[in-house]
Amino acid sequence: MSTTTTDPSPPSEQNVPRPAPTTRVALRLLARRVHFLAGVAIAPFLAVLCLTGFAYAFTPQLTNALHHHELFVDSASGSRQPVATQIEVALRANPAAELKAVIPPVDVDRTTQVVLSMSESAGHAGHSTVTRTVYVDPYTNRINGTLATVSNRPPVQTWLREFHGNLHLGEVGRLYSEFVASWLPIVVVGGLVLWLGQRRRKRELLVPKLRGTTGRPRLRGLHGALGLWLAAGLLAVSVTGLTWSNYAGARFDQAIDALDGRSPSLTAPAVAVPVEGLPITVDRALEAAASAGLTGELTVTPPAAADRPFKIAETSQGWPIQKDSVAVDPYLGTVTGRVNWDDYPLTAKLTTIGIQAHSGTLLGPANQIAMALLAIGTLVLLAVGYRMWWQRRPAGRTRAPVWRQLPKPALIAVVVGTVALGWVLPVLGVSLAVFLVFDAVNTRVFDAVNTRVRT
Confidence of residue 106 (pLDDT cuts 50, 70, 90): very high
Q: How confident is the model at residue 397 (pLDDT cuts 50, 70, 90)?
A: very low
Average pLDDT for residues 421-429, to the nearest whole number?
Answer: 93
- Say whether 450 sits in a helix, a strand or coil: helix
Q: What share of the chain is helix, strand, coil (3-state, %, to 5)?
A: 55, 10, 35
First to last CA, the chain: 25
Q: What is the pLDDT of residue 3?
A: 40
What is the pLDDT, as a whole number, of residue 9?
45
State the pLDDT at residue 450: 62
pLDDT band per the 50, 70, 90 thresholds, residue 23: confident
**Does 208 or 429 have the greater pLDDT score?**
429
**Residue bearing the bigger pLDDT, 32 or 372:** 372
The H or E element containing residue 34 is helix 23-57
Residue 124 has pLDDT above 50, yes or no: no
Least confident of 137-151, 269-283, 353-367, 407-421: 407-421
pLDDT band at 446 (very low <50, low <70, confident <90, very high): low
Compute the Cα dihedral for 417, 423, 424, 425 and give only its sign: positive
Overall average pLDDT of the 200-216 stretch: 74
> What are the pLDDT digits (tens) for 174-193?
999 999 999 999 999 999 98
Decide if 180 contacts 161 (C-beta within 8 A). Answer: no
Tell me: pLDDT of 37 over 90. no
pLDDT at 239: 95
Amino acid at 73: V
Angle separating helix axes 365-391 and 215-242, nearest 10 degrees: 130
Tell me the CATH number of domain 79-153, given options 3.30.750.210, 3.10.580.10, 3.10.450.40, 3.40.50.2300: 3.10.450.40
DSSP run (H or E) holding 101: strand 99-103
Half-sphere exposure at residue 415, Cβ-oriented, CA atoms within 13 angstroms: 10
Is the Cβ–Cβ distance between 227 and 381 less than 8 Å? yes
Average pLDDT for 81-104: 97
The answer to whether the beta carbons of residues 314 and 324 sit under 8 Å apart is yes
pLDDT score for 128: 52
Residue 280: count other Cβ atoms within 10 Å of its Cβ: 19
Q: Check residues 208 and 370 and name the one with the higher pLDDT.
A: 370
The predicted structure's pLDDT at residue 20? 62
Share of the chain above pLDDT 90, in %: 65
Asked if the model's pLDDT at residue 123 lies above 50, the reply is no
- Going by pLDDT thresholds of 50, 70 and 90, the confidence category of residue 198 is confident
Asked whether the predicted pLDDT for residue 125 surpasses 60, the reply is no
Confidence of residue 423 (pLDDT cuts 50, 70, 90): very high
Task: State the average pLDDT over residues 230-251.
Answer: 94
For residue 5, what pLDDT band results from cuts at 50, 70 and 90?
A: very low
Q: Count of CB atoms within 10 A of residue 451's CB? A: 9
Q: State residue 204's pLDDT score.
A: 73
Domain limits, the chain = 29-52+167-256+379-454, 79-153, 282-343
pLDDT attached to residue 30? 83
The answer for residues whose C-beta is within 8 angstroms of residue 215's C-beta and 6 or more apart is: 391
